[in-house]
Structure formats: structure tokens, C-alpha cells
Amino acid sequence: DGGITQSPKYLFRKEGQNVTLSCEQNLNHDAMYWYRQDPGQGLRLIYYSQIVNDFQKGDIAEGYSVSREKKESFPLTVTSAQKNPTAFYLCASSIGRVQPQHFGDGTRLSIL
């Protein structure tokens, strides 16, 4: 079945460590997105990519980095500069602009 796969489901980060969250889609969508969700809150945009080799900062990009080398993949790195990384991270994709975004089931990141 087509969809979005995020891995791992749970991830723990040590102080000073960078961690990378995986997001893969087989929907043949051009656009991909990363959102952060804190408890009892809506989703906030970290980064998005309209097309391969291009990405744009969202509202809360500080302390995060992304790459888009392949259409199917949009990994997110949470760097040590992100001082409050504990959250639920959601990846999404869409055919293009002004189209529904389809989400994966998220990665929950915690600090050791």
C-alpha cells in the first residue's frame, strides 16, 4: 500500500548528540514536510520541500536540518543546538501546493 513511513517510532537523544529521523514516501508526491507537535498543541512547521534538492524553513527551523536528495526521502536531523527537542515529530507529503497533506505515524523523541 502507498503511504508514508517514519522511523524509528521512538528515539532517545543524549545531551550534545545529533539524531536523524527518517521519512520515506511511495506516493510519488513532490512536496514533503516536517512538523513538530507538543502535548495538547497543534502542529508547527519545521521545514518543507517543494521538490528534490530544494527546501524551505518553516516557523521553527532553528536547531534542525533537512536534506532532499531523493523524491521519496526527507530526513530530519535534530541537532544539539535544539535545546528542547522532546516532542512528537510528524512527516507529511502532498502532490503539490493547495493539496491535502498525508501524514506518517510520527516519531516520538525524548531526552535521556
Q: How far is the CB of 98 from other proteins (least distance, A)?
A: 5
Q: Which of 46, 22, 44 is nearest to 34 (CA)?
A: 46
Phi, psi of 110 (to 5 degrees): -130, 160
Q: How far is the CB of 33 from other proteins (least distance, A)?
A: 6
Q: What does the block give as the cell for 80?
A: 544539539
- Contact residues: other proteins, CB under 8 A: 4, 6, 31, 33, 35, 40-45, 48, 50, 56, 58, 90, 92, 94, 97-98, 100-106
Q: How far is the CB of 86 from other proteins (least distance, A)?
A: 15
Q: What does the block give as the cell for 93?
A: 507529503
